[in-house]
Structure 1
């Protein structure tokens, strides 16, 4: 189905050294390329390195899960066929950057996520997250994109099936 969650996390100081993370990430992308599988990329405080490394593997596609990069980086990823995962933080008061990203992301490249059990959306922020919270995320994104939330949710579902090769 997919290789992941893989990627870089520069947030925690006790994580393995950056060079080690990068080497492992490259090997995982190489494996995905060899197996013709999509990837689920974890990119925390490592946007420049994450983008540079995935660009070394132009045949690999997937989703940048819990996307937190800039709208400019999003445009580069979208041009290369990547999907972007949107989750609870889109509902937070300080979601300006997420809104900018949503504005440049066509519905056909959006995936809805929970990042369960973390990052619950408003009105459940601070509580354990699960898939029951997806409608809050869809509602916020749909509002930004002037769409019906049910329509956006359906498109996101189709996107996920397409990305992961799911036939129902």
Structure 2
């Protein structure tokens, strides 16, 4: 857009998803061409951990993929209670590549097993603390309870991805060491609350994401999302903050690498 090379970190994807099986290499090449150099791939169910690990470790990937292993609250019907022990064993025995625990958290928009969601969430907070890994947090219609749970169970660090809470709740999360991930929803014209949030939170707290293949931005409604579209999130955030896009790209890339414990490049 202005000729300045950018380097982006997509802090939340599901690139192991079957939606990418037919053209994953092309998706990653397009991401690299757009300036995305790294992406986090967040797990949703135990059955997908081996596939996710293989996708991230593949030598031919055009960008570097970092795995996170966890049990997503929207998939409680796919989880066995034994998966909690399996997650601990996986992280201790096979998860040296894991840069985070998750995706985990609470989802009160879906009317499923709220108490069981809470138990799974608390367990994964404990694992993240014991293993010194950040959390990839899902908090839909549940930001306040996620904050209260983190206060009780912490200390931990992490990111609430696809954040939908208030500016004040974002401040409380930052006080707890939790970043905010913004993606496609911020590009929509009527997302006024997200626009105010993007303009006002500390730049040090901000991460950019796509949540690919989900949550495409305004230019790609009803399409499969992919990491190359992260530049559209960048452009909107830069405009809302009245800050150069290269500055936002560099800061959020640094924020992600610091959060996930990755060495400086």
Shorter chain as denominator, the TM-score bin is: over 0.9
1:37 is aligned to 133
Structure 1 residue 95 and structure 2 residue 194: aligned? no
Cα deviation per residue 1:82-121 (whole Å; 9 max; x = unaligned)? 1100000001122111112223311111110001111111
**Structure 1 residue ranges, 4+ long, deviating more than 4 angstroms after superposition:** none
Taking structure 2 as the reference length, the TM-score comes to 0.61
Cα deviation per residue 1:35-64 (whole Å; 9 max; x = unaligned)? 111000001111221111111133201000
- The CA distance in 1 between the partners of 2:183 and 2:143, in whole Å, is 18
Cα shift at 1:81: 2.0
Structure 1 residue 120 and structure 2 residue 216: aligned? yes
Secondary structure of 2:152's counterpart equals: coil
1:140 is aligned to 236
1:161 is aligned to 257
1:129 is aligned to 225
1:86 is aligned to 182
Please report the RMSD computed on the Cα atoms of aligned residues, expressed in angstroms: 1.1
1:2 to 73, 96, 100: 100
- The CA distance in 2 between the partners of 1:98 and 1:140, in whole Å, is 11
Taking structure 1 as the reference length, the TM-score comes to 0.94
Deviation larger for 54-63 or 32-41:
54-63
- The CA distance in 1 between the partners of 2:181 and 2:124, in whole Å, is 20
1:69 is aligned to 165
- The CA distance in 1 between the partners of 2:215 and 2:171, in whole Å, is 24
- The CA distance in 2 between the partners of 1:93 and 1:60, in whole Å, is 34
Cα shift at 1:79: 2.1
Query: For the Cα contact (< 8 Å) 1:78–1:105, is it kept in 2?
Result: no
Query: For the Cα contact (< 8 Å) 2:212–2:224, is it kept in 1?
Result: yes
Cα deviation per residue 1:119-143 (whole Å; 9 max; x = unaligned)? 1112112211010100100110111
